[in-house]
Structure 1
Amino acid sequence: MSTRISTNMVYNASLHTMLGKQASMNKLQEQLATGQKLVSAKDDPVAAGTAVKLDRAVAALGQYAANADRVHNRLGLQENALAEAGELMIQVNELTVQANNPALSDADLKSIASQLRAIGDQLLAVANSTDGAGRYLFGGSNDGSAPFTRSGNSVSYNGDQTQRRVEIAPDTFVTDALPGSEVFMRIPTGDGTLHAQPGAGNSGTLVINGYALDSQGGAWDGSAYSLHFSSASDYEIRDSSNTAIATGTYTEGEDIHFAGLRVQLLGTPAAGDSIDVAAAPSRDVFATLDALCVALEAGATTPTAVAARSNALQAGMRDVARAREVSIDARAAGGAQLAALDSAAGLREADEVSMQTTLSSLRDLDYAEAISRYRLESSALQAAQTVFTQMQSMSLFNALR
């Protein structure tokens, strides 16, 4: 069998070779001009698809970083606000201790009350702090308007209880600033577990000096109890149903033990006086400050009134101490979130470096290798052109001459 090689076939083969070399050189020129190995998806569909997925992942890391920046700013401002609130609490405690001095006149006490009210205004301003972007720190998710408003001497909370969770890295979340209800409103009173207060109709000079849980006499069952005095020296312990469960003789300054509790009293009771002990309720810090101011502004002209004011001041100091503890706990929680932000930043940075390295290996051109291939293709094109030129002058008639 013989194969006929026509002139057209030779021409077409040579032309196809030159066009192929020119196409290769054009592609290499485009790669060298852009610095990209993947000029279009058809160059390497698998690599192009992988690169698109990595682009999306890098963009997601950028969004995580933006989320982290915003929440970092808010948590940092929360830290500053809580630190300021803690300083204000210290001032309140110092003024309350000062007010407990029996040598102070009613005018002195009213002056202290004025200072406490000014501190209350400062604390309200702190509670209504913003993040610099017009959003309130302590409003929960309802942070478009001031979370705290004053009406007379009472303050109400208008935010909600939501604490946002913000994603700052893949499957890594931190919580935003605390809602104000948890920082300024729901403050345990007393020692945080118990709250003791004198009966409303007390006519003696009893002052509550201290109280706490006490293992003596068994464990406290969480019920409310009261001490009722039938005279200046005799008392009985009553449970929540007003049933007497024990009796005793009162000695000033000595602990009274009952039902897993311990109470220490000072002063002299009158018949009918009582002391109530129960689980500590919650109260907002603004109400605590107002109660202190009311006690200082009322004046005290009788021993009974002096004792009532002393009890109010003692209760106020305990409640302010609890408010400061809540503030410290909130700062610690915020600090933990700030630490998590720092850790997530390191994770994002490491992930981005890995992704960018992979993207570079998929897309970026190896200039040395590309230039070598370009020179090789250029030489091959020149050779093809030379062959084609020589072939144009070839003819069978030349061989027959």
Structure 2
Amino acid sequence: MNSRISTSLMYDLSLATMLARQKKLSQLQQQVATGQKNITAKDDPVGVGAAVGLDRSLAELERFGLNANTVNHRLGLQENVLALIGDDMIRINELAVQANADTLSDDDRKSIAAELRAIRDNLISLANSTDGTGRYLFGGAADDVAPFSRVAGGIAYNGDQTQRSVEIAPGSFVQDTLPGSEVFMRIRTGDGTVDARMAAGNSGTGILESFSRSTAGGWNGESYTIRFTAGNGYEVFDADNNMVGGGTWAPKTDIEFGGLRLSVSGQPADGDELQIGPAGTRDVFATVQEMIDALEAPVVTAGDKAARRNALQASMRDVARAAENMIDARAAGGAQLALVDDAASLREANAVTLKTTLSGMRDLDYADAITRFQLESTALQTAQTVFTRMQGLSLFNLLR
């Protein structure tokens, strides 16, 4: 069998070799120019697909960073507002102590009431603070309208009880600002567990000095009414108005029953009452308003003076609870800000890892690429030289 290589076949083979070398050389030129291993997805479909997935992860980290910036901004503003409110609470307590002094005149108390009214208005303004983008800090999820508004009889809360949870790193969430209902409205009264108050219609001079749970324990959370009787006597009634105890008392001496204790000074009138039981809730605006009303109420009799003192002391207790609530709110916000900082470190570490991996998948090894480029250039020049010499080969040259 004879094998024969035709002239056209030699031309085709030479041309195919040069074109292949030129294609490879062109690809290497593009790689060197762009600094990328893969010019198109077909160069490495699996690697390019994996790189796209890492790009998405990086974009997600950027989105988490934007989320973190937004919630960090809002929490920082919440901290500033609560700090100002804390200063107002301190001033309210100072004014309450000052107003409780017997040496003040009615004009002095009216001046204190005027300052308290200005502080209350400032509290409302602070409670309606925004984040600078038109969203209210303390409105919960309904933060497109002012959360607090004046209505007949007090202040109404227009927001909801939702506290947003924002993802600021993969699997890491932080709570947005607190809803105003938790910061300003649902504040425990009394000592936070038990509350006691002299009845508004009392005519005697009895002053509630202190109250608490008994050290012996035994309180089941029930409410009681104490009715004072003649001869320093008293009767205790439960919530169903059933008499469950009684006895005699002495000023500033503890009265104990049902796991509770209290102390009264002055002289309650026959039929005067005192309620004691689980602490309820009151908004801070109503507490300040109660102080204002007590200071502006006319004082004619000794009973009126005692009622004012009882009202002021009750308000001072509630102001103390409100101040504690503001401190708790600041602490909660501070904890969330710490989480934001921790998440920033996590995002940064993840971003470095992703970028390093992407660099290994995409970035060109210039030393290797330039070496291969020189080899391909040499191979192309060799193929061109061979082709040129091949063109001179002919049987007619041998016959000459």
Q: Residues 129-278 of structure 1 correspond to what in structure 2 (within 5 A)?
A: 129-151=129-151, 154-216=154-216, 218-278=217-277
| Residues 276-328 of structure 1 deviation map (CA, whole Å, 9 limit, x = unaligned) | 10111111110111110000001312111111000000010011111111111
Measure, in 1, the Cα distance between the counterparts of 2:40 and 2:208. Answer: 83
Q: Which residue of 2 aligns with 1:293?
A: 292
Measure, in 2, the Cα distance between the counterparts of 1:38 and 1:56. Answer: 18
SS at match of 1:47: helix
* TM, length-normalised to structure 2: 0.98
Q: Which residue of 2 aligns with 1:390?
A: 389
SS at match of 1:202: coil
Q: Residues 89-128 of structure 1 correspond to what in structure 2 (within 5 A)?
A: 89-128=89-128
In structure 2, the CA distance between the partners of 1:307 and 1:248, relative to structure 1 (3 Å rule), is same
Q: CA deviation at 1:3?
A: 2.1
| Residues 363-390 of structure 1 deviation map (CA, whole Å, 9 limit, x = unaligned) | 1111111111111100111011111111
Q: CA deviation at 1:127?
A: 0.1
Kindly indicate whether the alpha-carbon contact (under 8 Å) linking 1:232 and 1:270 is maintained by their aligned counterparts in 2. no
Kindly indicate whether the alpha-carbon contact (under 8 Å) linking 1:232 and 1:268 is maintained by their aligned counterparts in 2. no
SS at match of 1:57: helix
Kindly indicate whether the alpha-carbon contact (under 8 Å) linking 2:200 and 2:307 is maintained by their aligned counterparts in 1. no
Q: Which moved more, 1:228-237 or 1:335-344?
A: 228-237
Whether 2:9 is the aligned partner of 1:36: answer no
SS at match of 2:329: helix
Measure, in 1, the Cα distance between the counterparts of 2:240 and 2:214. Answer: 22
Q: CA deviation at 1:2?
A: 3.2
Q: Which residue of 2 aligns with 1:368?
A: 367
Measure, in 1, the Cα distance between the counterparts of 2:246 and 2:277. Answer: 19
**Structure 1: unaligned runs, 5 residues or longer:** none
SS at match of 2:209: strand
SS at match of 2:358: helix
Q: CA deviation at 1:245?
A: 1.9
Kindly indicate whether the alpha-carbon contact (under 8 Å) linking 1:236 and 1:248 is maintained by their aligned counterparts in 2. yes
Measure, in 1, the Cα distance between the counterparts of 2:158 and 2:17. Answer: 80
| Residues 183-226 of structure 1 deviation map (CA, whole Å, 9 limit, x = unaligned) | 0111111111111111233111111111111132x411111112
Kindly indicate whether the alpha-carbon contact (under 8 Å) linking 1:213 and 1:220 is maintained by their aligned counterparts in 2. yes
Measure, in 2, the Cα distance between the counterparts of 1:191 and 1:347. Answer: 42
SS at match of 2:195: strand
Percent identity between matched residues is 57
Measure, in 2, the Cα distance between the counterparts of 1:214 and 1:112. Answer: 36
SS at match of 1:141: coil
| Residues 17-47 of structure 1 deviation map (CA, whole Å, 9 limit, x = unaligned) | 1111100110011111111111110111011
Measure, in 1, the Cα distance between the counterparts of 2:231 and 2:170. Answer: 69
* TM, length-normalised to structure 1: 0.97
Measure, in 2, the Cα distance between the counterparts of 1:245 and 1:94. Answer: 40
Measure, in 2, the Cα distance between the counterparts of 1:5 and 1:163. Answer: 84
Q: Which residue of 2 aligns with 1:308?
A: 307
Task: Give the letter for the 2:120 counterpart.
Answer: G
Measure, in 2, the Cα distance between the counterparts of 1:263 and 1:232. Answer: 19
Kindly indicate whether the alpha-carbon contact (under 8 Å) linking 1:153 and 1:290 is maintained by their aligned counterparts in 2. no
Kindly indicate whether the alpha-carbon contact (under 8 Å) linking 2:218 and 2:259 is maintained by their aligned counterparts in 1. yes
SS at match of 1:300: coil
Q: Which residue of 2 aligns with 1:70?
A: 70
Q: In the comparison of the two structures, how many residue pairs are matched?
A: 400
Whether 2:46 is the aligned partner of 1:55: answer no
Task: Give the letter for the 2:54 counterpart.
Answer: L
Task: Give the letter for the 2:213 counterpart.
Answer: L
Measure, in 1, the Cα distance between the counterparts of 2:200 and 2:242. Answer: 20
Kindly indicate whether the alpha-carbon contact (under 8 Å) linking 2:189 and 2:282 is maintained by their aligned counterparts in 1. yes
Measure, in 2, the Cα distance between the counterparts of 1:240 and 1:152. Answer: 30
